[in-house]
């Protein structure tokens, strides 16, 4: 039988050396969003397909071309989530979170799935960090969401991240805008790509999101939605710009931003970086005041923001910002003979309970091989325990980098003896606070 040695195309193993960076990044995102009042939620990796058809939009590329959809054993249509907002809204409704205090501020880490061409920063299985606010229609909420994202970028030390904002209006003012777009693009429909010809029939605003070069030329001269806003949408956008200015947040109005999903209304925004080339968007989001009602709930205003974790790690790398990985083993306890191994196990268990990363032999290596292994895993310190050490009640603690040693007790005062010797070898603060 042939050995299966390759992951499916568009997926990627996250190995231990990288997982440490992911964990650090996730904890930073979690901590910073908690500072703004967001609480974490976790939703299933798959949902009923209808949820995404209703919210994302049946005519979008995501639904038509990219979703992983299948029938389960009961014949129900199930889809691996292509994004996190719809699932979060469904969970909020199903669990009646909206009956509590408003606004509801939720965060999540989700694995998402889209069948598209893999490229730098884009995978078929990717991971998304998201923030969602339910229950506020004020532009203050839009400004707070954007401010939360900027606070995250600042804490990470990212530079040259540009905020672009736009408004795509509500269903009322978009009717007139759609008429103008239809009139404009119908005049040039012979120059539209095949996909945009279909969009022209269903949702002409989707054409503005096309990356085809021939369509891009037409998009540059197309009518912009800001010119067709109703009074409410225009005022909302003006207040948002005012609040961003008061917060000293720099932005550029980009009238071509529409985002790729149908549930957006009013505010849309993106954070872009030239360092990502064609994949310039680091993260983005906007308002979706009709989404909750689209899935059968009340008219609850809402807005959200999402960051692709892979893309975020990519730009951190490009900017030379390193994230800490796992801390190496603090202490390796080598042993010889059965009594030595038992003693090593006991000591390792004791010091682990004190919060010290410790390893001991579990594959019956020789003492020499154990010390080589300790060196390979970058253990900071080591001790060797055999018959003489057990009889004497002491062992030599060795700094693996300098070779310097200190005699320590391996009796009841092992932890305090180790801590004291560690201080002497490090010439710094005590490792243990107790």
Cβ atoms of 390 and 340 closer than 8 Å: yes
Average pLDDT across the chain, whole number? 91
Distance CA 238, CA 38 (A): 26
Model confidence over 289-330: pLDDT tens digits?
999 999 999 999 999 999 999 999 999 999 999 998 888 999
CA-based nearest residue to 110, from 94, 95, 130 = 130
Per-residue model confidence (pLDDT) at position 96: 95
Q: Which domains does the chain have, with CATH numbers?
A: 16-170+230-318 (3.30.930.10), 331-426 (3.40.50.800)
Per-residue model confidence (pLDDT) at position 278: 59
Beta-bridge mates of residue 131: 107, 305
Whether this model's pTM surpasses 0.85:
yes
Residue 10 banded pLDDT, cuts 50, 70, 90: very high
- Sheet of 331-335, strand order: 358-360, 331-335, 381-385, 394-399, 405-409
On the question of pLDDT at 434 being above 60, the answer is no
The residue ranking higher by pLDDT, 426 or 283, is 283
CA-based nearest residue to 291, from 3, 112, 83 = 83
Mean pLDDT in residue range 261-273: 89
Model confidence over 148-184: pLDDT tens digits?
999 999 999 999 999 999 999 998 888 888 899 899 9
| Structure-token pair, residue 323 | 């994230």
Per-residue model confidence (pLDDT) at position 277: 67
Neighbouring C-beta atoms of residue 341, cutoff 10 Å: 19
Model confidence over 81-120: pLDDT tens digits?
999 999 999 999 999 999 999 999 999 999 999 998 887 7
Cβ atoms of 121 and 76 closer than 8 Å: no
SS3 155: helix
Give the helix/strand (H/E) hosting 397.
strand 394-399
Model confidence over 214-258: pLDDT tens digits?
888 888 889 998 999 999 999 999 999 999 999 999 999 998 888
Percent of the chain with pLDDT strictly greater than 70: 97
Distance CA 105, CA 119 (A): 33
Cβ atoms of 218 and 191 closer than 8 Å: yes
On the question of pLDDT at 283 being above 80, the answer is yes
Per-residue model confidence (pLDDT) at position 331: 97
Q: Are strands 252-253 and 69-71 parallel, antiparallel or unpaired?
A: unpaired
On the question of pLDDT at 433 being above 80, the answer is no
**DSSP string of 180-237, one letter each residue:** HHHHHHHHTGGGS-HHHHHHHHH-GGGGGG---HHHHHHHTTS--GGGG--HHHHHHH
SS3 102: coil
Angle between helices 16-35 and 139-156 (to 10 degrees): 140
Distance CA 232, CA 297 (A): 23
């Amino acid at each position: 039988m042939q050995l299966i040695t390759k992951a499916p195309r568009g997926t990627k193993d996250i190995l231990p050396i990288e997982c440490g960076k992911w964990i650090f990044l996730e904890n930073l995102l979690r901590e910073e969003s908690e500072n703004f009042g967001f609480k974490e939620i976790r939703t299933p990796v798959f949902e009923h397909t209808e949820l995404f058809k209703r919210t994302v939009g049946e005519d979008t590329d995501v639904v038509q071309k990219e979703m992983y959809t299948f029938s389960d054993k009961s014949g129900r249509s199930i889809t691996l989530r292509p994004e996190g907002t719809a699932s979060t809204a469904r969970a909020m409704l199903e669990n009646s979170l909206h009956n509590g205090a408003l606004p509801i501020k939720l965060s999540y880490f989700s694995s998402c799935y889209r069948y598209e061409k893999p490229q730098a920063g884009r995978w078929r299985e990717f991971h998304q960090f998201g923030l969602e606010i339910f229950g506020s229609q004020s532009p203050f909420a839009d400004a707070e969401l954007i401010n939360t994202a900027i606070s995250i970028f600042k804490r990470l030390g990212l530079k040259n991240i540009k905020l672009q904002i736009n408004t795509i209006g509500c269903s009322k003012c978009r009717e007139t805008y759609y008429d103008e777009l239809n009139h404009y693009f119908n005049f040039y429909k012979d120059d539209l790509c095949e996909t945009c010809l279909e969009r022209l029939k269903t949702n002409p605003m989707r054409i503005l999101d096309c990356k085809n070069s021939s369509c891009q030329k037409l998009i540059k001269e197309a009518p912009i939605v800001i010119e067709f806003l109703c009074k409410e949408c225009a005022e909302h956008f003006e207040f948002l710009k005012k609040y961003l200015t008061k917060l000293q947040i720099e932005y550029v109005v980009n009238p071509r931003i529409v985002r790729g999903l149908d549930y957006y209304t009013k505010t849309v925004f993106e954070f872009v970086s030239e360092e990502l080339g064609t994949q310039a968007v680091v993260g983005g989001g906007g308002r979706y005041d009709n989404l909750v009602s689209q899935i059968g709930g009340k008219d609850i205003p809402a807005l959200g923001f999402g960051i692709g974790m892979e893309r975020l790690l990519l730009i951190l790398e490009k900017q030379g910002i390193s994230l800490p990985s796992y801390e190496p083993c603090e202490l390796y306890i080598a042993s010889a003979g059965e009594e030595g191994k038992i003693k090593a196990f006991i000591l390792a268990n004791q010091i682990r309970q004190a919060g010290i990363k410790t390893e001991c032999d579990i594959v019956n290596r020789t003492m020499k091989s154990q010390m080589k292994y300790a060196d390979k895993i970058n253990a900071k310190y080591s001790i060797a325990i055999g018959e003489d050490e057990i009889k004497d009640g002491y062992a030599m603690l060795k700094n693996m980098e300098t070779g310097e040693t200190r005699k320590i007790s391996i009796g009841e005062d092992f932890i305090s003896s180790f801590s004291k010797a560690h201080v002497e070898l490090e010439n710094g603060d005590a490792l243990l606070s107790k």
